[in-house]
Amino acid sequence: MLDNLYPLLDKRRSPPGQKKTRRTTVPTDLQDAKLRFQESVLAFADKRLPFRDHAPSRRRILEPNGPYAPSNISTISGLFSALVYRGISHNTQFLLENEYFFATLSEFNVLHVQLQLDGHNADYFCNKAAYGVTTRRSVNDASTYWEKAQNPSLNAFLTRSTPVNFLRLYFLILRSKIPGFGPLTSFQLALDYAIAKKATMPTVKEMAHVIFKLKMGGLKGLIRLGYSVTTEHEVACALYSLRAQLDERIPTGTKKRIAFGIVFVEHLLCKFGRLDAKPFQDLEEVIASGSRL
């Protein structure tokens, strides 16, 4: 499966507003089947692409003037913008087409009002199903995010001389009662800060702890692959095993591009169920039939 997606590392999603088309005919050869599979992933890259920081929303928020830029990452404005991204604008046209770093709440509100006057509705700003399941997400939470970002109990980790422990940050975010930040969104934000080196990268055991507690895509992915994951220890063993197998199979040059590690493994597991859909099944059938172009 992954071999057929490596070419997407050099591609970008369709331009904003471009209509997505669905092919109904059965692919006739291997090249056609591969292309259809790649198109099915690229069309919904935020939800399907297994390369975390290559998906459209992550690429956008990681741009030089975003909340994770060196000049912004230790600031309250950076934290506020990161909360807006994970809690409101992830997987939206609003994120892709407009400013995404906000020095103040007023900056966000002015842009929001202006775009509303231009005719954009609530779905433009906030995708309630950004993480697959409809949740309590609202653009109206921005004011609360600004208040939370200024709270020393939450923002103290930004100015530490050493990265905060990943699990400590995860539970800090989760227990801060931030609107729209349940276990999954809190986990994603903690991972964002780990990648940005404000938190430690999760160990396999720490990742296993979160995956086992969440009981969501990561755990379901391991089950799909045939692992027994009835305990947290079994989840950790499965992660060690899967990481070792992927380490052997993924080309060295590609590993660097995808930031290979336990975060990549978890992200891949979460996407596995979405990737194992008809376009991939069609590709498998073409390969099994021995068709070649």
Yes or no: say if 260 and 246 are a contact pair by the CB < 8 Å rule: yes
Q: Give the residue from 253, 270, 199, 223 showing the smallest Cα distance to 52.
A: 270
The pLDDT value given to residue 293: 26
Q: 153-158 long-range contacts, Cβ below 8 Å, gap at least 24? A: 154/79, 155/76, 155/79, 157/193, 157/198, 157/199, 158/73, 158/74, 158/75, 158/76, 158/78, 158/79, 158/198
pLDDT tier at 38, thresholds 50, 70, 90 = confident
Q: Could you state, in order of their start, the residue ranges of all structural domains in the chain?
A: 29-54+203-288, 62-160
Reported as a single tens digit per residue, the pLDDT across 45-90 is 999 999 999 999 999 999 999 999 999 999 999 999 999 999 999 9
The pLDDT value given to residue 280: 54
**Cα–Cα distance, 33 to 283 (Å, whole number):** 5
Reported as a single tens digit per residue, the pLDDT across 198-223 is 999 999 999 999 999 999 999 999 99
Yes or no: say if 34 and 287 are a contact pair by the CB < 8 Å rule: no
Assess whether pLDDT exceeds 70 at residue 14: no
Q: Which residues, at least 6 apart from 66, have a Cβ–Cβ distance to it below 8 Å?
A: 60, 72, 81, 100, 101
